[in-house]
Every structure is written in structure tokens, then in C-alpha cells.
Structure 1
């Protein structure tokens, strides 16, 4: 049976199982760390929601920036879409900071232990994540068109006022960066560390993390659920193989940004739609290409990065 498995996959799987993002931290029993995390998490989330509530009360217009459906169409729509992106980023970033802070307090570790343990932020990994996902986004456009999708990029649509297109690009870049970083910190950072207390098996971690990531979006469309689960699983693999969240944050940002810039305005793209199962075909291609680049990055960095997993005493 082992002969049917690629040696490269075996080596990659073994390296992912030793990832610094799931390595044991501290010498305490895991249940004590988990109990502290739940306590600090509850307190910090309560404080965060209180601050957000006060902020929305002080600025009543902010609540109006969160539409229940698609924002009204018109020449100035993209300006409203940009504001919506900024508010969305704020709403996601606040709780994410609280959860990450609770984890740092519970494990008595710096925040970086849940982001990129024992090293600095890797700009190259972030940049490659952005470029890879932007590139595969371009590749999949013809595939979607062949399958019958309509393509009317918002930033190229003359229906929208010219200046609002520029402000839209800037606003959703900032808002979606905050949103992508927030989701990656929670799922590929803290949640990955928590599930690592139970198992360090990479495939199990990717499946569980991907399913939970998709479930939190509350999208009733089963095709969209599977697509998000696949993305979440791939980004979990990236975090495990690269020992940090930079690639996943960059890829997550580029994925959402490409949709918001070249497929539909943000509020429209966020709505649930009935998709056909054939729509998963481009997603499979995206996942495959992304994993290839993850492995190239991991293999390039592997020889220079020490194994940070705890070793038994001789």
C-alpha cells in the first residue's frame, strides 16, 4: 500500500505533522490551558462586543452600512460597497484580536506563537499567497465563462462613477485584508492550535478546520459549503507546511478581493446562491495549483528552518 503513495507526499505529510503551529507549548496539562482560554476568551469577547456596541451607538450610521441584502444599485454604489467592506473588516477583526489575545494569555505565549512561531512575519510567503491566488483567479475566469457564468467586473463597469471605483479598490483592499487576517488568525491560528491538542495528523486537521471554517459562514448552498471547506483545508495545509499564516492570509485576501473586484460588488458576492456541482471543477484546479506552490515554498524553506517540535529527552 505504501508503494502507491508518493514519497514526496509521505515526506510532506511527516513534516506537516511536526509543524510548529501544533507543537506543544508549556509544560501544563492541556485541559488547564483550555480552561484558561475559555475563561479569557469569554471575558475579552464580552469586552470587545461592548466596545463595538458603544461604537455603533455613538455612530448610528455605521449600522446602516451593513445591508441585509444587496446594496441598492446606482452610480455611487461602489462608494457604499467600500464603506461596507471597512465595517465588515472591523467587525471581524475585533473578535479575532480578542480570541488571539485570550489564547496568548491562556498559553502564556506571545501572539506570534499562534501566527508564525519563533520567527518574524515572512513578507515573501504573504506576497506569494497573493500572487498565486490572483493568478489562479485569472485562469479560472475562462472556465467559469465556458460554464455559463456572466462576467461584468464592477471596477470596469462604466455604470459606476469613475472616482468611486478607485475608492472602492482601496476600501475593500483594506477591509478584506482585515477580514482575511481575522479569519486566518481564528481558524488557522488559534483553532488549529486547539485541535492540535487532540491530534497532529495533518489530514484530520485540514478536514476538521476546513469544515468548521465553511460552517461558520452559514451558507445553505451545499456547493458553496464544499468549496469553502476545500479552501479552508488548503489554507490549513499551508499553515502546517510553512509554519505560519502569511501565505494563507495573502491567498485568502486575494481570493476575496478578486471576487469583489472582477465578479460582483461585495454585498452581492456575499449573498448565498444556488450553485451547480460542476462549479466545483475550477475550485479543484485552484486547490491543486495552490498546493503545488505551497510545497515549493515549504521545500525551499525546509532546509533552513529547524524542527521546533518537542523531542523526548535522551
Structure 2
């Protein structure tokens, strides 16, 4: 009997037909070890690269014309979002998560980055547009209800330079929100899906990591963010892609920062560390409402929830 090894198995770059989103990477043969290594590497690169890129961008701007202010002071104001440049640099720093996730997909799992987007390997643009149109009235409406319930509506008091802050938010907040979805609901869900086959594991674990990454926060704010991560993860699983989660995250962040610029300051929204139970209930209710609506629209549009066939 020959002891010679047979030819190596062909590298499977395409998810197996019938795979749900959390199992796309797992279905190509990427095992638990690569899943754990990938998740840990992703978190480490997040911690290292996002602030490094932000500081690099701020250093470049400072060197071009802000040198009258010591860089330490300039940097402190910027990362606290007390300047429009800080908003832009912070959001672009987080945008580095997209190439990080793409590289991990290719180098560690030998899977094309396009499978981070959806079970069909491409964005479902019509569904994304529908979710954006749903998210705006749903989240804005629930926010209005929470303001009315609180009985103390915020004062219309735009901060100094509000127009520049609004421009920075509108141009770069969507990049930041999409990058976080690619990282938390995209790569982490799929990497963790290689560790434990049950789809709920990646959804639950990524939501927990998402909430913990926001650092200083009281219990209600932690639960608020955990609920958002959970709702977004369930949408990704049940709709087969990132479109609905991206729409929810983009609209939520643009609304939050824009309202802050018009009623206080973006820095206050950035520094938020605690909310009350009533605010948390309304926020979670808004996320849940949007999740149900997005799921129903996905069913109506018959979006694919499983990989159809290798392409």
C-alpha cells in the first residue's frame, strides 16, 4: 500500500450553497482555530490601527497650519470631537476596519472579501435603499416620542461652527458606521461562526464585543448598545447581508451627531457615558421596530438569506 499523500484538496474560496451568513466562512473549510485567530487579530488590529490612523491624519493637518497650538492640545480637542477636523479624522480612522477585514478574509481564510457583504457576494442595492428609507422615520419618530415622554425638549442652540460639524458628520459618519458593521456584524460574526456552528453564537458574541468597545458607560447605556448590536446581528443573519444593519447604523449615527450639533455639541454626544432607563427603553424599542420592518421588507423583496450556489 502506497504511503504517498494524495494531491492537496482544492482551496474552496466560495461558500457552500445553502450556507447562512454566519456560516459563510465556516462552509469553505475554515476551522475553529482560524476563527479564533481571526477574531483576536481583528480586535488587536482595531485597537492598534484605528487610533494610529486618526493620529496620523491629525498630525498631517496640524503640521500644515495649526502649529500655533501645541499638538497635545490640538489632538485632545480633536479626539474629543470638539473640532470638525477631529470628527473627520476619528471617522476615517475607524474606516480602516474595512481593509483590515478584507485582508483577514483573504490571508487567513482564503475567502473573497465580497462575502462580507451578503450571501450573494454583492450589495443588494434596492434592499439597502429601502432600509435607509425605513430607518429615517422609524428612528427619528421614536426619538421624538422619547423627547415628548421626557417632557424636557432640547433647546435649539447650534454650536459654534455647526455648519462645518454637520458637513463633517454627513460626509464621514456613514463611512464610520459601515466600517463598524463590516467589522462587528461582518467579519466577527463569520469568524466566530467558524468557532461555533450555531448562528446565534456569532451574533451574541459580536454584540457583546460591540457594547464593550464603547468603554465608559453605565448599565443602561451598555444595554442600549448591546441591544443595538443584537438587533443588527439578527438582521444580518435573517436577511443574509449587512444592508439593513448598515442602514440602521448610518441613520442612527447621523441623526445623533446632527441633533447634537444643533442642540448642544458633537463633543457632548461623543462623551456620552450614561443614560436613564426611559431613554434605553425608547432606543431599544426603536431598534426593535426597525429590525421588524427591515425583516418584513426583506421577505417582501425575497432577498436571499442563504448562499445559492458557488459563483
Task: Decide: shared fold, TM above 0.5.
Answer: yes
The separation in 1 between residues aligned to 2:203 and 2:30, in whole angstroms, is 26
The separation in 1 between residues aligned to 2:277 and 2:294, in whole angstroms, is 26
Aligned-pair CA distance for 1:214:
0.7
Quick check: 2:35–2:191 contact (8 Å CA) kept in 1? no
Aligned-pair CA distance for 1:188:
0.4
Corresponding residue to 2:113 among 111, 114, 124 = 111
The separation in 1 between residues aligned to 2:80 and 2:53, in whole angstroms, is 26
Corresponding residue to 2:212 among 194, 202, 215 = 215
Residue 145 in 1 paired to residue 145 in 2? no
| 1:176-191 matched pairs, under 5 angstroms | 176-191=173-188
Quick check: 1:66–1:87 contact (8 Å CA) kept in 2? no
| 1:131-210 matched pairs, under 5 angstroms | 131-140=133-142, 141-153=144-156, 157=158, 160=160, 164-210=161-207
Quick check: 1:20–1:309 contact (8 Å CA) kept in 2? no
Structure 2 CA distance for partners of 1:133 and 1:38, relative to 1, 3 Å: same
Residue 295 in 1 paired to residue 298 in 2? no
Aligned-pair CA distance for 1:102:
1.8
| 1:69-148 matched pairs, under 5 angstroms | 69=80, 71=82, 80=83, 82-140=84-142, 141-148=144-151
The separation in 1 between residues aligned to 2:240 and 2:202, in whole angstroms, is 14
The separation in 2 between residues aligned to 1:32 and 1:151, in whole angstroms, is 49
After superposition, the C-alpha distances for 1:212-256 in whole angstroms (9 at most, x for unaligned) are 111101132111110011011111111112211122112101101
Structure 2 CA distance for partners of 1:38 and 1:218, relative to 1, 3 Å: closer
SS at match of 1:151: coil
The separation in 2 between residues aligned to 1:39 and 1:231, in whole angstroms, is 24
Corresponding residue to 1:249 among 238, 246, 251 = 246
Structure 2 CA distance for partners of 1:216 and 1:117, relative to 1, 3 Å: same
Quick check: 1:202–1:237 contact (8 Å CA) kept in 2? no
| 1:47-86 matched pairs, under 5 angstroms | 54-60=56-62, 61=66, 64=74, 67=77, 69=80, 71=82, 80=83, 82-86=84-88
Gaps of 5+ in 1: 1-16, 72-79
Residue 266 in 1 paired to residue 266 in 2? yes
TM-score under structure 1 length normalisation: 0.75
Quick check: 2:177–2:249 contact (8 Å CA) kept in 1? yes
TM-score under structure 2 length normalisation: 0.75
Which position in structure 1 is the counterpart of 2:10?
A: none
Structure 2 CA distance for partners of 1:268 and 1:165, relative to 1, 3 Å: same
The separation in 1 between residues aligned to 2:124 and 2:156, in whole angstroms, is 32
